[in-house]
Chains A and B, each alone.
Chain A
Amino acid sequence: MTTLHDKWNLVPVVVSITDLPATTHFGKSFGLPSLARVRSKHVAVSPQADVVSLPLEAAKIVVTSFRFDAQHESTAKPKPQNDASPKARSDKRTRIRAPRDVVRLQDRLNYVLQPPLETLLADELVELPFEPFDYQLDGIAFLFPRHHAVLADEMGLGKTMQAVTTARLLIRSQQVRRVLLVCPKPLVTNWQREFTLWAPEIPVTAITGPVERRKFLWRQGAVVSLVNYETLVRDEQVLESLDHGFDLVVLDESQRIKNRSGTTNRVVRRIARERSWALTGTPIENSTDDLVGIFDFVAPDSLRPGMKPREIGRAVADVVLRRTKDAVMQDMPPKMTRDAQIDLTPEQWQTYERAETDGVVQLGELGTSITLQHVFQLVLRLKQICNFDPVTGKSSKRDHLLAELEECAASGRKAIVFSQWVDTIKKLAESLAPFHPVEYHGKIPHGRRDGVLTQFRDDPKCSVILMSYGAGSVGLNLQFASYVFLFDRWWNPAVEDQAINRAHRIGCSGPVTVTRLLAAGTIEQRIDQILAEKRELFDSVFNTGRSPRNLSLSREELFSLFDLQTPEGRMMAG
């Protein structure tokens, strides 16, 4: 009888196994074929087949190791026992990613391997009054690892909260021990409130009062020192004499340092610091050089004047975080913006035309001695006529506003009216008396301003607040107002946006209607066109990367508002 062995001429095959790592245990855990079984396995081969060797060379495993110091954690508050888990409740995990300027892999991994932000915040040692929005967590994750950062969120998205919470986490992990916070004077109390809300255990020292008191406070080395820009500049020498620097310096409304030759810019640049953060909703107000001024503080030498917007966009990509409400607050009530083109009254027209004609003639007569100041004065004069006729006091804008406010007040809603001039605000206050207006501008003492805001919010009869762009456009929370009127136009759209966003911000309960009053056929329309171009500039740096057309309200543009001609041709800025 022929066996299978004979028929197929089966011969045993020896498999040689070589260079096995010492830790290899064949067959121990996984039911692998034992060596004996392999040796006796029969396979069909040709008669010529002899021995087939299958070398099993297992290369040494290369392991790269990284070790980290677990960051010190405060244990001042005992962990509650048998408590609900402090883990994050949502499924979202916000990772803290290493900034581009962190080069060492060890350092980058130290960020990557940290727990997600939700875990850090949900820890019972870091209680928060409200659950942050997802984009706010992203903002905190952005700021946390960065030594150089610009948080340029659109106004109303909670830059303050993001900065406070991040500073809190850094302080608690002892990565930061001294923080200096610089803000405009009217916002000092706002920052104190925000710290009380979002970081109640962290003491904040406001540097205020007479010189000797301020010196004393500076030298205390408080955990968080809060100072306004003006005081900071005044105390420059005290700052330089301090025997300690700051681990973190935060500039709020950092457009205040956009002027590179300004004193404020110089003083903040000289502060000894480890981390430099700037908060601004309007990193570019007039030209890209504004951003260069801010970067003199945040990351010196990374930008230079005259860079193209696209170059700037690339250079700042890892340092600037910019989100808009449209992008992140899709459930936020809408903002409706409309341009009300208003024909001047006949009296206003008459005055306006005469002023423009005379003004242009006078400018022309100046010839080559014409300056920016001359043009600027004419622009201001014409804009004021668009508001009120200086001769008769007539104003078609005011009449339009009155009609709009009737409806606003009748529905129990509140409105904010912005103007460039206190004089215009005063005139409006008289005309709007039936709506019990309150005023908020540079001539209202600081001590009274909080009271004005409280009255506007709480007094049901008070339907209108009249604000100047200068005093009222930054930092205030007026989200209970439903209407915003821009009685005249500011020089750049960023400030207008700041103003509008006093009402259209987190917490607003309904849609916000913005009305921009525009005197038809006047210089206001020409300015409006330039403002539109400025928006393009902003987008080209932060959003789209497109090259803008002509950028800011430059000398040339101011001149171009009037087609000034001389026998030598079109007049240009000197």
Chain B
Amino acid sequence: MNDGNAQFDPVFGFLTVMDDATGAMLGGLLLLNRRGRPLEFHCTAAVAASRAEEILFGPTLRPHIHCERIGAALLAKATQRISLLAVNQLPSWPIADDTSVPVVLVDPRSPEPAASDEQGDRRPTVPACLDRLDPGQRAATEALLVDLQRYVDLAEPFERIAEAIREAGLLGGQEDNPLANDEDDHDHAA
């Protein structure tokens, strides 16, 4: 029986979008526990923008597909309550506006924690941008990130997503595509 003192077990989401060989986009959402072990993985089939979308959305096409189509669909499939969502691409970051989950942008180029600021702030820092957080979410989010970083390099789970999408054969041009339908198989055979 729960004694009421059970430790809060946060769930961390990592969302990324990849381009396949045809230029279509597909996304993956990986949910991890605080030690970096996988809990859920959701991935989309490739999403190709129509010509009309390209014209209408222009430079905002990519954020639209990242957030409102792929990101929204993936988040809708998560069965666990996500404590923190990390994205690693600028076009995915606006998803913060459409969800109550705190969203941070991880810079894959800076895996090492940044140095403390000049004011002598000795709080642990994280290689993630928190600018889209509500001020009220900031402290709790920082604490979550520090806890997660004990076990996980924030940029690393995105590599897992990419690897899993490749493993699933979703990127196109691969010989075996376990998620492809029969027609796809015939296309490959042809």
Contacts and interface: CB of A to CB of B under 8 A. Distances in A.
A275 B108 CA distance: 38
Interface residues of B, number: 51
A24 B164 contact: no
Interface in B158-178: 159-160, 163-164, 167-168, 178
Contacts of B35: 70, 73, 115, 123
A56 B37 contact: no
B13 interface: no
A64 interface: yes
Interface string B22-54: 000000001001011111111111010010110
Contact of B43 (A64, A87, A88, A98): A64
A510 interface: no
A73 B63 CA distance: 39
Contacts of A423: none
A493 to B, nearest CB: 39
Of A15, A17, A70, A98, the most chain B CB neighbours within 10 A belong to A70
Interface stretch (B69-77, B81-89, B135-143, B182-190): B69-77
For chain A, the bracket of interface size reads 35 or more
B116 interface: no
A221 interface: no
A464 to B, nearest CB: 51
B100 interface: no
A177 interface: no
B93 to A, nearest CB: 10
A23 B68 contact: yes
B38 A114 contact: yes
B55 A114 contact: no
B68 A25 contact: yes
A25 B39 CA distance: 30
B77 A65 contact: yes
B94 A29 contact: yes
A63 B60 contact: no
B134 to A, nearest CB: 16
Contacts of B156: 93, 115-116, 119
B60 to A, nearest CB: 4
B56 A110 contact: no
Interface string A46-75: 000000001111110111111110110100
Given A105-B179, A113-B30, A23 B72 contact: yes
Contacts of B76: 63
Given A29-B94, A115-B152, A68 B72 contact: no
Contacts of A91: 111
A63 B42 contact: yes
A70 to B, nearest CB: 4
A115 B45 contact: no
B111 A65 contact: no
Given A32-B57, A86-B150, A86-B151, A67 B79 contact: yes
B128 interface: no
Given A30-B60, A65-B41, A91-B111, A112 B164 contact: yes
Contacts of B50: 56-58
Contacts of A115: 35-37, 151-152, 156, 160
A95 B163 contact: yes
Nearest to B149: A85
A66 B41 contact: yes
A112 B160 contact: yes
A64 B179 contact: yes
A383 interface: no
Contacts of B98: 23, 25, 29
Contacts of B164: 109, 112-113
B151 A56 contact: no
B145 interface: no
Nearest to B30: A113
B67 interface: yes
A118 to B, nearest CB: 9
A23 B156 CA distance: 30
B47 A113 contact: no
Contacts of B19: none
Contact of A54 (B36, B42, B55): B55
Interface in A1-48: 15, 17, 21, 23-25, 28-33, 38
A215 interface: no
Given A56-B50, A63-B73, A70-B33, A105 B178 contact: yes
A33 B79 contact: no
A108 interface: yes
A185 B180 CA distance: 53
Nearest to A16: B52
A25 B68 CA distance: 8
28 contacts: A21-B68, A29-B67, A32-B57, A32-B60, A38-B56, A56-B52, A57-B50, A58-B69, A61-B44, A61-B47, A63-B43, A64-B43, A65-B41, A65-B42, A66-B41, A67-B39, A70-B33, A87-B149, A109-B164, A109-B167, A110-B38, A113-B30, A113-B41, A113-B160, A115-B37, A115-B152, A115-B160, A119-B152
Interface of B: 30, 33, 35-45, 47, 50, 52-53, 55-57, 60, 63-64, 67-70, 72-74, 76-77, 79, 94, 97-98, 111, 149-153, 156, 159-160, 163-164, 167-168, 178-179
